[in-house]
Each structure stands twice: as structure tokens, then as C-alpha cells.
Amino acid sequence: MATRRRALCFVALAVGIALVAGATPAGAKRVPPCTLLTPEELEPIFELTFAAGRLEQGDACRFAPPAEDDVPEIVVTLRAERYASTKKAKRAYTRSADITTELSATSITEVGRVGDEAFYASFVGTDQLTLRVGRFVVELGVDQPGDEDVNFPEQAVAVGQVLATKLRAVKP
């Protein structure tokens, strides 16, 4: 039950951000999120085996350990948009930071060494890292359903660094 509630909270936060910011803003295109990461890239960061990403509601990709593995479930979710210009991406990133602060009633922490700019926030036990790389804005969530006291800021940043490296290689 707690697993479902926390997953719904993350989706609600992401949907809230999308609704307030504009679902797919003019000049932005959704990036198929399951193409941005592989289970093999997540495994050394979390020291767990992950199943292939699965597209979920809200254009989010969900990565989790295989159901048959007897390990704590850690869920990594990912949403991404590509904007027509860097200026529009910067505006969307700033709007996302403002909305995250409003909706989560918590402060955000600016994170260096991840893309062009990034911030971290924790919301109902879910770690959220939002990063901008050029014209891309990516929202990343990390959660261990059922345990609101566990946070993964270092792992979220490490996944963000992997994403930033891959997005920098995409032709403008």
C-alpha cells in the first residue's frame, strides 16, 4: 500500500509540474525516456540488477529490480523533454524549480557537476533530480517504496551524470 502511495505521490508531483508548467510546452517534444538509460547503467550505481525500463503514465519510464529478485525494491523513474532552444529549456528548468518548491513545500538544492544546471529535492521519501543539458530538461526520481526514511541523493546525482553525458552526445 505504501509502495503504491509513494509512486502515486511522485507521479502526482510530476503531473502537477507538467500541468502547471504546461503538459508539453510549445516548442518542446517528449523524448522517449526508456531510450535514455539502460539497466546496465543503473546496476553499478545501485549495486542491484534492474529489469528493462517500462513506459508508464505521464510519459515516464520506470526501472525496478525484477519481481523475482528478493531485494528491496528501488524504483527509478525518468521523464524528458527537448526544447526548441536553450533559452526555452532554461525557462522550463527554472519554472520546474519554482513549482517543485511550491508543491513539495521544501527547498531545493542546486547540484554542480551534473549537466548545465541541476537541482535536487526530496518529496515524501522520493528523491528528485531535475537537470538541464542544452535544450533537454530531464526529471529523475529515485524511490524505495515502503521506506520513506531512505534517500538516494548520491545515486540520483550519479544517474544524472550518466544522463548528462549521453545527452551532450546528442546532436543539437
Instruction: Note if the pTM is more than 0.85.
Output: no
Q: What is the CATH number of the domain that holds 28?
A: 3.40.1000
The pLDDT confidence band at residue 22, using thresholds 50, 70 and 90, is: very low
How many domains, in total, are found in the chain? 1
The pLDDT value recorded for residue 59 is 87
What mean pLDDT is predicted for residues 64-79? 88
Evaluate if residue 156 carries a pLDDT over 50.
yes
Helices (H), the chain: 2-21, 39-46, 86-104, 153-168
What mean pLDDT is predicted for residues 63-92? 92
Task: Report the distance separating Cα 129 and Cα 135, nearest Å.
Answer: 17
What mean pLDDT is predicted for residues 29-43? 95
For residue 114, the enclosing domain spans 2-168
What mean pLDDT is predicted for residues 73-95? 95
